[in-house]
Copies of this chain bind each other. A is one copy, B any other.
Amino acid sequence: MRRTSSHAQDHIMAERKRREKLSQRFIALSALVPGLKKMDKASVLGDAIKYLKQLQERVKSLEEQMKETTVESVVFIKKSQLSADDETSSCDENFDGCREDAVRDIEARVSDKNVLIRIHCKKQKGFVAKVLGEIEEHHLSVVNSSVLPFGKHAMDITVVAQMGDELQVTVKDLVNNLRLAFLKFM
């Protein structure tokens, strides 16, 4: 074997190239980590690890926050036929056959697992209990509720409920279900 066999030289060159590649990536990595004081290899790795962890945390936090701030809402405004009533303007669908004069307005909004339900209706004895019962029969657990009298004949019900993990319902379906359910006792 010659002292400088071609194989040995290739080996040296290959290793040199490998080191060069690693060195380049260290530089590239250190360029991505902000506030890097030590350009030490160990420090670059350590700070990159810390930075990466806190980035992951931030992404997770932001994604959760996104879920919660993304609220879809649907409003169904019925025909209001009471005397001193205000707006008959707005909204979407007309439920042709429904002659319900008690519930004027059902609104729901869903955010993550939370559901907010607003009902504007005439005062009716036992209506609140039925509403809450109906809500809970829809696999929603009521976590809070409020009933405010509005004038002599109207009231405003606000319910916050939570969905189970298994079902994810759209707002429209939810409102439809609730409306159909409420029609039963009117």
Could you tell me which A residues sit within 8 Å of B by CB distance?
18, 21-22, 25-26, 28-29, 32, 41-42, 45-46, 48-49, 51-53, 55-56, 58-59, 62-63, 65-66, 68-71, 73, 75, 78-91, 104-105, 109-112, 114, 116, 118, 120, 144-146, 148-154, 156, 158, 160, 171
Contact = CB atoms under 8 A, between A and B. Distances in A.
A73 B156 CA distance: 13
Residue from A52, A68, A112, A171 having most chain B Cβ neighbours under 10 A: A52
A149 B158 contact: no
Secondary structure dominating the interface of A: mixed
A149 B153 contact: no
Nearest to A25: B45
Contact of A151 (B91, B112, B153): B112
A93 to B, nearest CB: 15
A112 B149 CA distance: 14
Contact of A116 (B78, B91, B150): B150
A45 B22 contact: yes
Contacts of A154: 68-69, 71, 111
Nearest to A105: B73
A75 B160 CA distance: 20
Given A32-B52, A48-B48, A158-B158, 18 more contacts: A28-B49, A29-B45, A29-B52, A51-B52, A52-B52, A59-B59, A68-B154, A69-B70, A69-B153, A71-B73, A75-B78, A79-B89, A79-B91, A80-B87, A82-B111, A83-B87, A114-B150, A148-B160
